[in-house]
């Protein structure tokens, strides 16, 4: 997606929707834009507010409308087993292979993580997986394909893995360049409101 389009989306949904719009430079430019506007901004309707919450999640995780709707459908179905749909939706999106590659800092953005996965550079339990939406499970081992480790794009990957902020459900082995799924995702970013997303689709 073109950078200018991402900036336009981030202005509407909030800077937290993309990694590159979470910079101080972007925030300062938005403050200047806000000061230059005349009149009071229109207050969005309840539907509009719910739509913003939904779009925040969808654009941030980089999934299509169809993929997102399917995830929401699975979240609703999980309620039959006593699960909370909002928690299930968060878990499904977090456990996507491209998101795991991003969370482990193998890739700096989710978009780049999708690219690495699609090009066949990532393996799960030793098997090449080129489907970004692949859902990992507890016990899975994610790694860089042996034939890809020498590529320039992975030259600093060991350093990147060492800089990873604590992700409780992922165990990172920097010496072997492997990531193990050891639990379930918890505590979504406060920027996202998964309950509002569920309510949006409940209308």
Which one, of 140, 119, 148, lies nearest residue 131 by Cα?
119
pTM of the model: 0.82
d(CA 190, CA 172): 25
Parallel, antiparallel, or unpaired for β 141-144 and 127-128?
Answer: unpaired
Same domain, 121 and 59: no
Same domain, 128 and 173: yes
Per residue in 37-62, pLDDT (tens digit) is 655 556 778 888 889 999 999 999 99
Structure tokens at 6: 């991402």
Same domain, 55 and 3: yes
Structure tokens at 86: 């909002």
Burial class (CB in 10 A: 0-12, 13-18, 19+), 62: buried
175, part of any domain: yes
Same domain, 127 and 175: yes
Same domain, 120 and 60: no
Domain count, the chain: 2
Per residue in 112-130, pLDDT (tens digit) is 999 999 999 999 999 999 9
Parallel, antiparallel, or unpaired for β 141-144 and 178-181?
Answer: antiparallel
d(CA 9, CA 4): 9
Is residue 92 within 8 Å of 110, Cβ to Cβ?
A: no
Same domain, 128 and 169: yes
71, part of any domain: yes
What pLDDT tens digit does each residue of the chain (203 aa) get?
Answer: 555 476 667 666 766 666 666 656 655 565 555 556 655 556 778 888 889 999 999 999 999 999 999 999 999 999 999 999 999 999 999 999 999 999 999 998 999 999 999 999 999 999 999 999 999 999 999 999 999 999 999 999 988 888 777 789 999 998 888 999 999 999 898 899 999 999 999 98
Same domain, 153 and 101: yes
Alpha-carbon distances of 66 from 58, 62, 70, rounded to whole Å: 10, 12, 6
Domain holding 162, by residue range, is: 96-181
d(CA 94, CA 188): 9
Is residue 161 within 8 Å of 174, Cβ to Cβ?
A: yes
d(CA 8, CA 171): 36
The CATH number of whichever domain residue 62 belongs to comes to 1.10.1050
Same domain, 68 and 105: no
The CATH number of whichever domain residue 174 belongs to comes to 3.10.290.10
CA angle 127, 65, 187 (to 5 degrees): 70
d(CA 125, CA 20): 31
């Amino acid at each position: 997606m073109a950078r200018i389009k991402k900036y336009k989306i981030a202005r509407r949904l909030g800077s937290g929707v993309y990694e590159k719009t979470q910079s101080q430079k972007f925030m300062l430019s938005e403050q200047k834009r806000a000061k230059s506007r005349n009149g009071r901004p229109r207050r969005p309707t309840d539907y509009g507010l719910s739509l913003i919450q939904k779009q925040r999640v969808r654009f941030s995780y980089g999934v299509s409308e169809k993929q997102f709707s399917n995830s929401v459908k699975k979240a609703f179905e999980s309620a039959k087993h006593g699960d909370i749909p909002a928690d299930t939706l968060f878990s499904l999106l977090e456990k996507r292979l491209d998101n795991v590659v991003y969370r482990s800092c193998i890739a700096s953005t989710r978009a780049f993580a999708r690219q690495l996965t699609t090009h066949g550079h990532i393996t799960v339990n030793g098997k090449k997986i080129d489907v970004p939406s692949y859902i990992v499970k507890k016990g899975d081992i994610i790694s860089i394909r042996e034939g890809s480790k020498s590529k320039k794009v992975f030259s600093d990957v060991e350093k990147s893995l060492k800089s990873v902020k604590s992700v409780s459900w992922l165990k990172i082995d920097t010496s072997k360049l492997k990531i193990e799924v050891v639990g379930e995702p918890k505590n979504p970013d406060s920027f996202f409101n998964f309950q509002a997303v569920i309510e949006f689709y409940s209308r």
